[in-house]
Amino acid sequence: MKWNRLAKLLYSGGATVLAGMFIYVFFSSDPVQELFYRFLPYEFDLLFPLLLFSIFLGLLFALPVYFYFFHDRINLSGAMIGAGAGLFIITIVRFIINGSAMYGNASDEMLAIYDWLVFLPLATMIAGFFVIKTKKNPQMHWVVFGMGTGILISYVGTLGIRYVNNSLTSLFYFSATEWLYVAIGTLLIVICTYLLTHMLIKNDAKNNKLLV
């Protein structure tokens, strides 16, 4: 499979969605917001959400360009795969903690780490940057595309289910169960993307051998 302009566009779009989800989950968490509000003067409390929203929009416009031109210069795909893995892990763990809390089986230690789980994707993103090597395996770029596409499709699909059930009260607030739907849907699309690109890469290799 050639890494052409269309592939770059698809990759940059998927990576942007994945990065946007990471930014949203990270900055909307209680520990991060508490840190910001602790060091901001009181009069900036109302301006802070607007400032964050402006930064978020700016990044969403800048990131596609950045991913398009610099995907091969630094290991962005490895970092994005690490971030996606971290988001998947915290979704599963939060679902387990929520389920345990509902039945009164959640320990104080489990509840204490709930909010701080948001820092896990940051750690896995850094680990992915150094550990997951993608230059020799271009298929990993398509895994990033699958992650971004999977998040988008699963997120919109979950909103559709809520709309049908007449429970669509917010476009952003999801329960732990609904986030689990998004995570599982994303995982299935990533697996399908990986298998499809693996098959296409094999076919390309066979065709190249025949030409030689």
What residues of the chain score a pLDDT lower than 70? 1-4, 36-37, 39-49, 51-52, 71-72, 101-111, 136, 205-212
Helix or strand (DSSP H, E) at 68: helix 47-70
pLDDT of residue 47: 65
pLDDT in tens, 31-51: 777 776 676 665 555 666 676
- The residue whose two tokens read 């992915």 is 128
- pTM value is 0.78
- The residue whose two tokens read 């998927």 is 14
pLDDT of residue 29: 75
The total number of residues shown for the chain amounts to 212
Dihedral angle sign, alpha carbons of residues 8, 81, 192, 194? positive
Using CA atoms, how far residue 38 sits from 125, 139, 169, in Å, is: 26, 43, 30
Three-class secondary structure assignment of 101-128: HHCCCCCHHHHHHHHHHHHHHHHHHHHH
d(CA 202, CA 197): 8
pLDDT in tens, 163-175: 888 887 777 788 8
User: Which residue from 62, 77, 79 is spatially nearest to 8, judged by alpha carbons?
Assistant: 77
